[in-house]
Amino acid sequence: MKRSLYSKLIAWKEKKNRKPLLLQGARQVGKTWLIEEFGKIEFKTLHKFNFQEEPALSTLFKETLNPQKIIKTLELNYAANIDISNDLIFFDEIQECPEAITSLKFFKENLPDAAVCCAGSHIGVSRSETSFPVGKVDTLTLYPMSFYEFIINNHPELADLLLNPEEIPELLHKRLLDLLKVYYVIGGMPEANLLYYQDKELNPNMFSQIRLVQKQILTGYTSDFAKHAGKVNANHIVRVFENTPTQIMKTDDYSVSRYRFKDVVPGYSKYTQLIGPIEWLLKSGLCYPVYVIENPATPLRANRKENIFKLMLLDIGLLNCMNNLSLRSIMSQNLGSYKGYLAENFTAQELVAYGMEDLYSWTGRTSEVEFLLPIGESVIPLEIKSGKRIARTKSLDVFIRKYQPEVSFISSMRSYRKLDNKKNIPLYSLISIMLERESRSF
């Protein structure tokens, strides 16, 4: 299966003065598979060492951080010949050995020609007395598969349409909407996608298999909480995580409301009481914050308050699994106001996958625009509609009158439309907005 991040791995390989690479991301998003494919295709030999499968590996790094000694010991122990110039060294589940993370500094300083890739989850949230090699590693983050990745793997003949929504015939628009609903069911977790990839037909039997995979992933997440919680109360992490779908369904004028802290954990009602488990989930990549701001002036970060945000789940398929939605209800979109929350969570997931590091929403006295897109010194509003009615955009119109952006976006289930300085982009084509954001100066 093709992943968009692969091109960045190629760029890392060809980079002069490259550093050891640390690939981060939530569990089960495909980190191990991606580096294995990269190593097998782009290098003479892949040497994989998994700290979770072989706990004894950690003793080596506790005894020495010298990369030459580490390589020599690995060669002897595994009867391997590691060619520093042509092979890839892959340390998987590196979070299980903090000393191995520290050793990356010395690989950079003392063995700079070695191609070293590492994959790990929960890095930075587990208790550790060792130091992180700041400035000595290159980092990339892998997210759940985007809708574009879903299409390019399963229906590649349609992929270019997502990049050019202005030219999509109505017949193909309807097909892409149907595939978007399929993606709502499956989500972006590779293991769930693989089931669809094999048959390309979403029937009740496949749905049951997909839902089982999603439940297993969620169970794995909650099992991780106690193991990696550190000083944070693991039960509180569970409560915040399992409450996320409820938070998403709390509404302000059919838009997801800001996070409500009261009674998420019994007896707690303040941000300061929940900051630990919330930040743990953010650092683990399981949730994304959308900061709600009143002043959309750049830099947006300067105008945000850390305790005023919406909280989105990393994957729409897992969200629907947690809410136990049926295949029929998702495909028919007979979900009432909930389909609006789905569209908003989907958009957050897409924007993050396409490179948005921070997400922001704007709120006025009686209005709210779901997302703001910073472009240089400009801020472009993006209003989300879960249906096809786009004529009424009250909140977006308030924003336009007040701040006069050069262009504004609506994203909905309707095909491409241009209304004055507003562009309606189909929800399945959010990637085109991000490409325009990268290439244009408004």
47 within a domain of the structure (yes/no): yes
298 and 327 within one domain: yes
159 and 125 within one domain: no
Computed over every residue of the chain, the mean pLDDT equals 93
Kindly report the backbone phi and psi dihedral angles of residue 358, in degrees, each rounded to the nearest multiple of 5, phi listed first: -130, 140
Residue 90 DSSP code = E
CATH assignment of the domain containing 123:
3.40.50.300
100 and 157 within one domain: no
**Best CA proximity match to 194, nearest among 33, 10, 24, 348:** 33
197 within a domain of the structure (yes/no): yes
Domain end position, chosen among 118, 141, 164: 141
pLDDT confidence of 255, banded at 50, 70, 90? low
Q: Would you state the pLDDT for residue 257? A: 78
240 within a domain of the structure (yes/no): yes
123 within a domain of the structure (yes/no): yes
235 and 320 within one domain: yes
Model pLDDT for residues 200-246, shown as the tens digit of each residue: 889 999 999 999 999 999 999 999 998 888 888 999 999 999 999 98
156 and 123 within one domain: no
105 within a domain of the structure (yes/no): yes
Model pLDDT for residues 318-330, shown as the tens digit of each residue: 999 999 999 999 9
- Mean pLDDT in residue range 242-269: 81
Using the predicted structure, report yes or no on whether residue 293 has a pLDDT greater than 90: yes
**Cα-based distances in Å from 32 to 141, 286, 321:** 12, 18, 24
Least confident of 22-26, 138-142, 393-397, 436-440: 436-440
Q: Please give the Cα distance from 136 to 21 (Å, whole number).
A: 9
1 within a domain of the structure (yes/no): no
62 within a domain of the structure (yes/no): yes
Using the predicted structure, report yes or no on whether residue 133 has a pLDDT greater than 90: no
175 and 64 within one domain: no
Least confident of 48-57, 141-150, 365-374, 430-439: 430-439
Domain end position, chosen among 88, 121, 141: 141
Residue 337 DSSP code = T
319 and 195 within one domain: yes
- Mean pLDDT in residue range 48-74: 97
- For the chain, percent of residues with pLDDT exceeding 90: 82
241 and 197 within one domain: yes
Q: Which residue has the higher pLDDT, 217 or 263?
A: 217
185 and 89 within one domain: no
Q: Would you state the pLDDT for residue 129? A: 52
pLDDT confidence of 295, banded at 50, 70, 90? very high
Using the predicted structure, report yes or no on whether residue 181 has a pLDDT greater than 70: yes
Domain residue limits at 79: 6-141
Using the predicted structure, report yes or no on whether residue 420 has a pLDDT greater than 50: yes
Least confident of 253-257, 397-401, 426-430: 253-257
- Mean pLDDT in residue range 36-51: 98
Tokens of 119: 């994959």
Q: Would you state the pLDDT for residue 263? A: 84
Least confident of 253-262, 339-348, 403-412: 253-262
Using the predicted structure, report yes or no on whether residue 365 has a pLDDT greater than 90: no
**Cα-based distances in Å from 194 to 39, 153, 346:** 21, 10, 20
160 and 130 within one domain: no
Domain end position, chosen among 141, 162, 184: 141
- Mean pLDDT in residue range 19-42: 97
Q: Would you state the pLDDT for residue 302? A: 95
Q: Would you state the pLDDT for residue 254? A: 52
- Element housing 256 (H / E): strand 255-256
430 and 411 within one domain: yes
Q: Please give the Cα distance from 149 to 228 (Å, whole number).
A: 30
Residue 370 · residue 347 · CB < 8 Å: yes
Query: What's the predicted TM-score (pTM) here?
Result: 0.94
**Best CA proximity match to 240, nearest among 291, 267, 274, 270:** 274
- Mean pLDDT in residue range 242-263: 78
13 within a domain of the structure (yes/no): yes
Total number of domains in the chain? 2
96 and 47 within one domain: yes
Q: Please give the Cα distance from 35 to 51 (Å, whole number).
A: 15
Q: Would you state the pLDDT for residue 442? A: 43
Q: Which residues contact 343 (CB under 8 A, 6 or more apart)?
A: 384, 385, 386, 411, 427
Q: Which residue has the higher pLDDT, 415 or 199?
A: 415
Q: Would you state the pLDDT for residue 252? A: 53
